[in-house]
Structure 1
Amino acid sequence: MSNKGQSVLFMILLAFIFKATGQNKNIPLFTEVIYQGNDQVYKDYPLADNEFYSPILQGCYPDPAITKKGDDYYMVCSSFAMFPGVPIFHSKDLVNWTDLGGVLDDVSEFNPHNTGISGGVYAPGITYNPHNDTFYMIVTAFSGGLGNIIVKTKDPKQGWGSPIKLGFGGIDPSIFFDDDGKAYVVHNDAPDKGKELYSGHRVIKIWEYDLENDKVIHGTDKIIVDGGVDLSKKPIWIEAPHLYKKDGSYYLMCAEGGTGGWHSEVIFKSDSPKGPFIPAPSNPILTQRYFGKDRDNKVDWAGHADLIEGPNGEYYGVFLAVRPNEKGRVNTGRETFILPVDWSGEYPVFVNGLVPIEPKVKLPKGVMNKTGQDSFLPNGNFTIVENFTSNKLDYRWIGLRGPREEFIEITKKGLKIQPFETHIKEAKPTSTLFHRQQHDNFSFTTTLQYQPQSEKDLAGVVALQNEGSNYVFGITKKGKDTYLVLERNKWPGRKGPVISEVIASTKIDVKSPVKLKISAKGDDYSFSYAINGSAFENLGGTLSGDILSTDVAGGFTGCLLGLYATSANDIVID
């Protein structure tokens, strides 16, 4: 064998040894994560034995839709460019929920790899069809040329079929199955060409749906709502439609007013699924837009709802809303709330949905609150400790623009993240394992073993609202020295480059593991570190969480907290 051949063989053998023994210092090892939520509202409103907290899904879980088969309830939410797409949850009682992962979990079929974080998929609908014992999830996908798609399964716990592209435009589709077995799709769309009357003027369309061939029937589309409840008042963004049938009549429920301070839920009634639909005289049936901005424990933006018959034949509605912090900023994003619905009269009305929404809801009769126990999602204030000792990583941990499995490895020592050659400011898959921020007051702490080899190497944590609005807190190199650096990235607008600023940096010794912590008290964020069991030291002082808020950063998501590694670091330390 030649000397060159021997050298190549030696390098291959050396690489194998490094991989087998974990001696490659470029691969960061995260050995623990502790997330602690500590909001004052849960201290001020302790639960009685017959109560549970709403929101039921804390953090960025917006646009809920819900269905049932027997006493099994399934709920889906928007996920945008997070992966897997369309998180799905299961419950037996509408109170205690388990996380089933994501509906769109095959990257070869749903690949948001090059989209902004607020692209991807949003506003799903989910409906069980008793006529063929099949669940349908329908959604708009803003990536890969998919458009509106539908997927099916006999059992949501066992996965879903491949996406089927549907031949219509618009957004926010849902599917309805009538008593006679016929199917219909309703969705938001633009008015007919040349008939748009004002900015935000939208319509609701209906199509007949071919169940055998899984497609809308060409030529059956019809506008059933033009503008909203009262077109003369120029209502904006009629969207998120859902059809229901009760006592022989058809009800169309929609969001109106846009996802913001004027958001609401409205209801219409008809003798036919194709209309004409007459608005209820008491609209809206859910909103928070009429109340003072400075009220305590403020819940706002309520709307985008879905109805379901719950335990004991009582109706409930799931919907999105936000809980702004003390400066009115929305860092936890749009969350999933629930309220009972009174449908004893002609039209449904959300119980206490037209007064300031309270943090507690009465349990359905006969239901026990087991949130945070066994496999049920926690609720209220809680602490999550992740040691990465389980073979199956909890579904709360997600990727962005691609599967987490492409860059993580769970070992006996902890979680390894293989760095991608992309950094956090790029609209590409990054090697970042994300967890949603679920409280205004929280801490997110991890223990990291890492020795970067060059200035292109960085590992640590991030607080991210989007690719242009985030904080990076990580370990990297400057020359021969190792540094801990804190960078703020701010997008001044939808055009132009991200403005990056190194807030602070310090030389550190990484021979021992380093603890990194992100903390927040409302709008005040801080970043700190600890070495060799010492007390935490702050780096960079107290910083504003403004860039982690929807109202400043734009888009549709809340703040994500991530374990981050990159081999394309571009932070320059002076």
Structure 2
Amino acid sequence: MISSKGFLLFSITFLTILQAGAQEKNAKKKSVPSPVFSNVIYNGNDNIYTKNPLKSDEFYSPVLQGCYPDPAIAKKGDDYYMVCSSFAMFPGVPIFHSKDLVNWTDLGGVLNNVKEFNPHDTGISEGVYAPGITYNPHNDTFYMIVTAFTGKMGNIIVKTKDPMKGWGSPIKLDFGGIDPSIFFDDNGKGYVVHNDAPDKGKELYNGHRVIKVWEYDTENDKVIPGTDKIIVDGGVDLSKKPIWIEAPHLYKKNGKYYLMCAEGGTGGNHSEVIFISDNPKGPFKPSSNNPILTQRYFPKNRANKVDWTGHADIIEGPDNKYYGVFLGIRPNDKDRVNIGRETFMLPVDWSGTFPVFENGLVLMEPKLKMPKGVENKTGKDGFLPNGNFMFTENFTSSKLDYRWIGLRGPRENFISITKQGLVINPFETNIKELKPTSTLFYRQQHNTFSFETTLNYKPASEKDLAGIVCLQNERFNYVFGITKKGKDTYILLERTEKGASKIIASKKIEIKKTVKLQVKAKGDSYEFNFAVSDATFENLGGAVSGDILSTNVAGGFTGALVGLYATSANNSKL
């Protein structure tokens, strides 16, 4: 038997060993190098804007460039709030504010509490999408309703009295389907409409969907069981087998109820259609002049193409005219969709029985006339820019611009702002994994653009890498970064397609000061350049195709992201 004194000595020795092991482990953790990014310059320069300069009474559409699809809009007084899909980007459901529909400020994301919305294990095109936003004057409350594909959340709703001050916790709603929106009648009664599958055994063809309506209990925030009803079966004309009737919105005007929906799928056949009824629960009759918005009738090889228009919402503007927001795309020179689906706007003529998007059935132009009395301040005084612009970030503000986002988790989990710049504390996760990554992302907003950063970084091992990533998803991306091989430091360009990675080019470098990294794109052609210690830029790998950054090749619903990337789990093989 061991004596009490011997036991005490053994315990002390054992604890000392444990503490030493913990200290060694912590030392190893602390030794992982953290890159410092001192600035970023994003410069967008599309020909469409160069050739179409604005006059004093004009503004550009899209109003939100880059991956901001599925817009929905609401107003209270002269305050407008617009939300969009975010998928697995974080925070969820970006929200914007305007007083005039022209000048917009970014308020961040509605779903910004990772304990309540956590897309950590979802594909980039899952997460959360197709939100609706509605103001209820009867209880002075805003409602945001959306479908969440994470944590078995399903359809959820959140509320606030003031979108400037944040939102309440998500409330799970007991119905299936996607694309919900909520409507409040003149008497305060609530209704939820959404896309769903046909009743069991009644699906007639692939893409056959229906629109359902439920009565909504505003006191208890739930749909009322047993009140659901199919109000549109298939679409405008079921005999023509229309696909993907979705994104419904209910409106009321002159005592009539209007149901506006997208039809045709969110691709080249996308359109917006309208129905009318005397009752919010139908029956709804389609307008004879459907569709009221589409670009599907024009030649595919047209210049300055805007396509896929649909998934719209309508609001009364500051000049007492109606305006519609909707998604659309601007493909590049290879007809590929790298920017993603963006938020466009058009005036809406509702002088007759049915609303019609003005010039929504002709080739879309990049410019619109501003509402009367509005001044274009885009890019000034904190308003988001549009058209061609330069965005410079020196990381000197304690409040990081909301255009910087995380993927599958909050950006705050891996960044810190210091006097030297932005520090990214690398996760032991790389960009090819279906997990949160330590990457600060910015949406690609132009087909012709450059993205440049200055980096202070010295990798300690082959597992360490930092630089720039251009990403469509975890299986389709470019990594342009600095890493180690043996005792030498390298810069590499890696292409990942269908999950298979290949080093396109690499070069041994010696870092004495900082390194500048740059990606430049002109349509489908992307170039990756670097400069060591204030030298001039040098290309690595030549011109490469942006095909893997398009939805045409990679699939999904999102646009390309460009990010500041760091990892301690690099698996690029030099």
Report whether the alignment pairs 1:441 with 2:443. Answer: no
Moved more, 64-73 or 287-296: 287-296
Match for residue 298 of structure 1 among 301, 305, 320: 305
Q: Is 1:223 the counterpart of 2:224 in the alignment?
A: no
Question: Could you say which residue in structure 2 is the equivalent of 1:510?
Answer: 511
User: Structure 2-normalised TM-score?
Assistant: 0.96
Within 2, Cα distance between the matches of 1:570 and 1:261? 38
Q: What is the alpha-carbon distance in structure 1 between the residues aligned to residue 523 and residue 215 of structure 2?
A: 48
User: Given the two structures, how large is their TM-score scaled by the length of structure 1?
Assistant: 0.96
The alpha carbon displacement at 1:559 in A equals 0.3
Verify: 1:77 aligned to 2:78, yes or no.
no
Aligned mates of 1:470, 1:511 — CA distance in 2: 29
1:309 corresponds to which of 301, 306, 316: 316
- Structure 1 counterpart of 2:9: none
- C-alpha deviation, 1:510, in angstroms: 1.9
Partner of 1:558: 559
Distance in 1, Cα, partners of 2:32 & 2:354: 64
What does residue 460 of structure 1 align with? 467
Identity %: 75
Query: Contact between 1:465 and 1:559, CA under 8 Å: does it hold in 2?
Result: yes
Q: Is 1:263 equivalent to 2:264 in the alignment?
A: no
Matching residue of 2:72: 65
- Residue of structure 2 equivalent to 1:494: none
Aligned match of 1:276 in 279, 283, 286? 283
Is 2:112 the counterpart of 1:105?
Answer: yes
In structure 2, the partner of 1:570 is 571
* Secondary structure at 2:345 match in 1: strand
SS of 1:306's equivalent in the other structure is strand
Q: Deviations over 1:506-544 (max 9, x none)?
A: 001122100000110000001010012111100001000
How many residue pairs match? The answer is: 563
In structure 2, what is the Cα distance between the partners aligned to 1:451 and 1:192?
60
Distance 1:447 1:120 in 2: 32
Question: Following superposition of structure 1 onto structure 2, how do residues 37-186 of structure 1 map, counting pairs within 5 Å?
Answer: 37-186=44-193
Match of 2:337 in 1: 330
Q: Which amino acid aligns with 1:460?
A: G
**Counterpart contact for 1:483–1:507, Cα < 8 Å:** yes
Residues of 1 paired with 2:236 and 2:314: CA distance? 19
Quote how far apart the aligned CAs of 1:295 are. Answer: 1.3
Distance (whole Å) between structure 1 residues aligned to residue 226 and residue 523 of structure 2 = 52
> For 2:14 and 2:283, how far apart are their aligned partners in 1?
84
Contact 2:66 2:342 in 1 (8 A): yes
Residue 416 (structure 2) aligned to one of 384, 387, 409: 409
What's the offset of the Cα at 1:2?
Answer: 8.2
Give, in whole Å, the separation in 2 of the partners of 1:141 and 1:528. Answer: 39
| CA-CA distance at 1:349 after TM superposition | 0.3
Per-residue CA deviations over 1:16-40 (Å, capped at 9, x if unaligned) read: 9x97xxxx57111110100000000
State the alpha-carbon separation in 1 of the partners of residues 19 and 521 from structure 2: 50
Q: How far, CA to CA, are the matches of 2:57 and 2:17 in structure 1?
A: 73
Superposed, which structure 2 residues align to 1:497-536 within 5 Å?
498-536=499-537
Instruction: Report the Cα distance in structure 2 between the residues aligned to 1:511 and 1:522, rounded to whole angstroms.
Output: 34
CA distance in 2, matches of 1:12, 1:541: 46
**How far apart in 1 are the matches of 2:127 and 2:571?**
26
* 1:370-449 superposed matches below 5 A: 370-449=377-456
CA contact (8 A) 2:245 2:261 kept: yes
User: Is 1:477 matched with 2:478?
Assistant: no
Matched residues in 1 for 2:22 and 2:238: separation? 72
Counterpart Cα distance in 1 of 2:252 and 2:149: 31
Letter in 2 for 1:79: S
Deviations 1:478-524 (A, max 9, x none): 11111101100011xxxxxx111100000011221000001100000
Instruction: Write the distance in 2 (CA, Å) between the matches of 1:6 and 1:163.
Output: 47
Tell me, in whole angstroms, the C-alpha distance in 1 between the residues paired with 2:151 and 2:474: 19
Q: Is the 8 A contact 1:25 1:451 kept in 2?
A: no
**After superposition, what is the alpha-carbon deviation per residue over 1:178-210, rounded to whole angstroms, capped at 9, x for unaligned?**
001100000000000000000000000000000
One-letter amino acid of the structure 2 residue matched with residue 507 of structure 1: K
Rounded Cα–Cα distance in structure 2 between residues aligned with 1:263 and 1:333: 15
Displacement, 1:4? 9.3
What residue identity is the alignment partner of 2:285? I
Task: Please give the residue correspondences for 1:192-231 in structure 2 after superposition, counting only pairs within 5 Å.
Answer: 192-231=199-238
Distance 1:374 1:11 in 2: 50
- CA–CA separation in structure 2 for the residues paired with 1:3 and 1:481: 40
Equivalent residue letter for 1:521 = K
Cα distance in 2 for residues equivalent to 1:7 and 1:466: 41
Q: Distance in 2 between matches of 1:474 and 1:390?
A: 26
C-alpha distance in structure 2 between counterparts of 1:317 and 1:559, whole Å? 25
For residues 555 and 135 of structure 1, the distance between their equivalents in structure 2, rounded to whole angstroms, comes to: 30
- Does the 8 A contact of 2:454 with 2:514 survive in 1? yes
- Tell me if structure 1 keeps the 8 A contact 2:71–2:130: yes
SS in 2 for 1:186: strand
| Amino acid corresponding to residue 477 of structure 1 in structure 2 | K
Return the letter of the residue paired with 1:550.
Answer: T
Shift of 1:7: 11
SS in 1 for 2:164: helix
The corresponding residue for 1:495 is none
Residue 260 (structure 2) aligns with: 253
3-state secondary structure, aligned to 1:98: strand
Q: In 1, distance between residues paired with 2:503 and 2:81?
A: 45
Note closer, same or farther for the CA distance 1:428–1:519 as it changes in structure 2 (3 Å cut). Answer: same
Letter in 1 for 2:185: D
Q: AA paired with 2:375? A: M
Letter in 2 for 1:182: K
Matches of 1:181 and 1:11, distance apart in 2: 61
Match of 2:494?
487
Counterpart amino acid of 2:112? D
Give the Å deviation of 1:296. 1.4
1:393 CA displacement = 0.3
C-alpha distance in 1, partners of 2:24/2:212?
A: 63
- Give the C-alpha shift of residue 257 in structure 1: 0.2
Task: Find runs of 4+ consecutive structure 1 residues off by over 4 angstroms.
Answer: 1-16
How far, CA to CA, are the matches of 2:174 and 2:357 in structure 1? 34
Counterpart-to-counterpart distance in 2, 1:167 and 1:182: 18
Task: State the one-letter code of the partner of 1:501.
Answer: K
Native 8 Å contact 1:25 1:450 kept in 2: no
Taking the aligned partners of 1:382 and 1:310, their CA distance within structure 2 comes to: 26
1:29 paired with 2:30, answer no
Which 5+ residue runs of structure 1 have no aligned equivalent?
A: 492-497
Amino acid aligned to 2:134: T
Compare 171-180 and 4-13 and name the one that shifted more. Answer: 4-13
SS of the aligned residue for 2:319 comes to helix
AA at the equivalent of 2:306: V
Give how far 1:5 is off: 5.3
Deviation at 1:70, TM superposition (A): 0.2
Tell me by how many angstroms 1:446 deviates. Answer: 0.5
Shift of 1:294: 1.5
Matching residue within 356, 367, 387 for 1:360: 367
Q: Return the alpha-carbon distance in structure 1 between the equivalents of residues 139 and 569 of structure 2.
A: 51
Contact 2:514–2:534, Cα closer than 8 Å, also in 1? no
Residue deviations 1:60-101 (CA, integer Å, cap 9, x gap): 000000000000000000000000000000000000000000
Which structure is larger by alpha-carbon Rg, 1 or 2? 2
* Residue identity matched to 1:503: I
